[in-house]
Amino acid sequence: MVHLVVIGGGVIGLSVAWRAAQRGHGVSLYDPHTARGASWVAGGMLAPVTEAWHGEESLLDLGSASLERWPSFAADLGDAGLSTAGTIVAALDQADRAELDRLAAYVAERGRDVDALTGRALRQLEPALGPAVRAGLHVPGDLSVDNRQLLSALRDASAQAGVRFAATVPEADVTVIAAGAWSGSLHPLLEKLVRPVKGEILRLEARSGALPPPTRTIRGHVEGRHVYLVPRANGLVVGATQYESGFDLHPKAGGVRDLLNDAEQLLPGITEYALTEVTAGLRPGSPDNLPLVGWLEPGVIVATGHYRNGLLLAPITADTVVALLEDEPIPPEAKAADPIRFTEGSPWK
Amino acid sequence: MVHLVVIGGGVIGLSVAWRAAQRGHGVSLYDPHTARGASWVAGGMLAPVTEAWHGEESLLDLGSASLERWPSFAADLGDAGLSTAGTIVAALDQADRAELDRLAAYVAERGRDVDALTGRALRQLEPALGPAVRAGLHVPGDLSVDNRQLLSALRDASAQAGVRFAATVPEADVTVIAAGAWSGSLHPLLEKLVRPVKGEILRLEARSGALPPPTRTIRGHVEGRHVYLVPRANGLVVGATQYESGFDLHPKAGGVRDLLNDAEQLLPGITEYALTEVTAGLRPGSPDNLPLVGWLEPGVIVATGHYRNGLLLAPITADTVVALLEDEPIPPEAKAADPIRFTEGSPWK
């Protein structure tokens, strides 16, 4: 049994703490704002294949491996807010359609079902889609999760498994740095490796008389910007902008305007929805968009740099940290996340 | 000395309570959410002439008479957040310019200074104005007030003058109904006379690196919609949409989108501002857009229905109510606001 302290109570820190406590380790978690960082702001898509970054094969492998772990991760938590309703990727013009064909081939290559549909066929699936949607893909089985329900379930499960939520950082055998974008200030090796990537996100609620929200996640590409709409009980999360401006957490007028205009192109009925929340979060970016999960030095494990993928990668990250603690082999897909790729030869090692 | 209870702690209720207490009356004020209704949401323009509703001469006379009382009203309060920086009315296209000429003639007719300027000359006054602004009027001396600073000053002055903030409605000689859009439920005569007119409003803050906000109020007309931007310390209030949807207080996505897009036409730099607040308020509408200020029945005075003009009309409304209490002549311009114009012959009189 290891005495472990986890610094950071977002989805990564909570998942690590929970899984480690389940295995019988003594776990304390320190975060003055537990569950209130980027994980609280997130949209909750768990769709590595539809996101499909060409040339980021290691990240896709890691995401796919974590996705496979999601159903049992969610089942262990009880009601974690998982949805299996799938994704629609909508195209508004010819350029988008060419991109769509490439994406369809790519998704099919990865062994996933995917249907290329006309705008009309898409509107039969999701009547809220607007006339500007000319064509699209339907990817059944894509997962999403209600991030706030998940965080709440993780807190409860952690407490139940014996995790102590500490008001100060206690002594420990092993420290896990899982403080997201703020991790850079917690260890000299991380200073240059983790940076905040700001994202604004909106939450909308259907009002009486408004069209009901879609049941599937809707993704689209409007005027060069990516937008996604993830269903929630009686509403939607609309995300997300992406830019670097340090630790500023104020949503910008221009970002909110883009999200509203882009979402309206896909779902015109949202103009009648209530705008219930405008938030910004700071994703923890890494130099190669892969997370940093592994030993930093004896007694210090890092688990951050998950960028846009913290929710997706939580199960495999937690399993990896537990394997490191117990000196067991880590999942093979997680090897690419070892921070040694940046720290090898550093005077701090 | 009259024992008075004022129902409603917005700008009207607080002004009445304060002025009545100053005159030595015993005043209690009841409002479970003092200073949190439409007055809290408001933009704070005090510019009846620039607003210039043709055909609403009684309202213009009432507004002008109240405007004259504003400087001493503000001086009595101490630091009430009054600004004398003036207004710019911006035109984006030819149709707007024709409207501008009519407005300039009208403002001059009312004895006010007004300069018709080119876009370039306007940008010399206010460098934040965008290239889409082709021409405009500069109306020096137009007033505006920081509504929240005003409400705070009114609360303090009321308490100082002896107003009691009551947790329940006490017994009284005279009741003043000043509950804004909610007044309709407080007296059967008001049921059909007062209706909520929703307005959404944004608050923006200049961030480091962004252009500083203008010093004058900027008004414009974009795609058929009126928009105004009222300066605040290091920021702006952007308002306001206007529609009727009952007592719903949720800002709508479509309204926020319109305000952001329209404000950006006038001041492109606001896209870099932080969006710090999105709020909706309910203006108390009346059938003829004039307020309802006068005796409803023995022992009951009404002071509501101020629609878009509560802040502007607060001084004259307070003076009118005090005159009614003391059986003195009311300001002549306030006669048009007597509710008797609707209640004459009603079975409730």
CATH number at residue B336: 3.50.50.60
Query: Which residues contact residue B334 at a Cβ distance below 8 angstroms, ignoring those fewer than 6 apart?
Result: B62, B65, B293, B316, B317, B319, B320
Whether residue A70 sits in one domain with residue A14: yes
Whether residues A220 and A322 fall in one domain? no
Question: Are residue A219 and residue A111 in the same domain, yes or no?
Answer: yes
Whose CA is closest to A183, among A244, A242, A250, A247?
A247
Query: Is there a single domain that holds both residue A94 and residue A73?
Result: no
Q: Nearest Cβ partner of B257 from A207, A254, A260? A: A260
Question: What's the pLDDT at A349?
Answer: 46
- The CA distance from B210 to A239, in Å, is 24
Does any CB of chain A come closer than 8 Å to the CB of residue B249? Answer: no
A148 is written with which tokens? 């706030």
Number of domain units in chain B: 2
ipTM of the complex: 0.85
pLDDT of residue A106: 86
Cβ proximity of B138 and B36 under 8 Å: no
Choose the final residue of a domain: B266, B285, B304.
Answer: B285
Alpha carbon distance A199, A196 (integer Å): 9
Mean pLDDT for the stretch of residues B298-313: 97
Q: Which of A242-246, A272-276, B325-329, B333-337 has the lowest mean pLDDT?
A: A242-246
pLDDT tens digits, A220-278 = 988 888 899 999 988 999 999 999 989 999 999 999 999 999 999 999 999 999 999 99
Name the residue type at position B139: V
**B53: which DSSP letter?**
-
Same domain flag for A2 and A123: no
Q: Sorting pLDDT into bands at 50, 70 and 90, what band is A100?
A: confident
> What is the C-alpha separation between B239 and B103, in angstroms, rounded?
20
Domain that holds residue A298: 1-83+143-193+286-349
- Domain boundary residue among B285, B301, B336? B285
Measured CA to CA, the distance from residue B100 to residue A275 in angstroms comes to 34
Q: Which of A254, A285, A316 is the last residue of a domain?
A: A285
**Shared-domain flag, residues A293 and A278:** no
Residue B349 has pLDDT above 50, yes or no: no
* CATH code: domain of residue B98: 3.30.9.10
Cα A284–chain centre separation: 11
Among B139, B141, B289, B261, smallest CA distance to B202 is for B261
Do B254 and A263 lie within an 8 Å CB cutoff?
no
Residue A246 contacts B where some CB pair is shorter than 8 Å? no
Residues 6+ apart with CB under 8 A from A213: A128, A204, A206, A229, A231, A232, A234, A235, A236, A267, A273
Shared-domain flag, residues A73 and A207: no
Residue B250 touches partner A, C-beta closer than 8 Å: yes
Tokens at B165, concatenated: 């903030």
Question: Is residue B251 within 8 angstroms of chain A, CB to CB?
Answer: yes
Do A38 and A182 sit in the same domain of this protein?
Answer: yes
Element (H, E) at A227: strand A225-232
Quick: pLDDT tens for A41-90: 999 999 887 776 566 889 989 999 999 999 999 999 998 999 999 999 99
Which among A253, A261, A264 is the nearest to B204, CB-wise?
A: A253
Same domain (yes/no): A15, A46: yes
Same domain, A45 and A73: yes
Residue B55 corresponds to which amino acid?
G
Q: Are residues B124 and B180 in the same domain?
A: no
Q: Express each pLDDT in B46-77 by its tens digit.
A: 988 777 656 688 998 999 999 999 999 999 99
Q: Which of A88, A97, A171 is nearest to A134 (CA)?
A: A97
Neighbour-count burial for B208-224, b at 16+ CB within 10 Å, e otherwise = eebeebbebbbbbbbee
Calculate what percentage of chain A has a pLDDT beyond 70: 97
**For residue range B133-174, what is the model confidence (pLDDT) as tens digits?**
999 999 998 899 999 999 999 999 999 999 999 999 999 999
Residue type, B148: R
Task: Judge if A179 and A266 occupy the same domain.
Answer: no
Q: Which residue out of B247, B260, B262 would a mutagenesis test of the A interface target, given it has the greatest number of A Cβ atoms within 10 Å?
A: B260
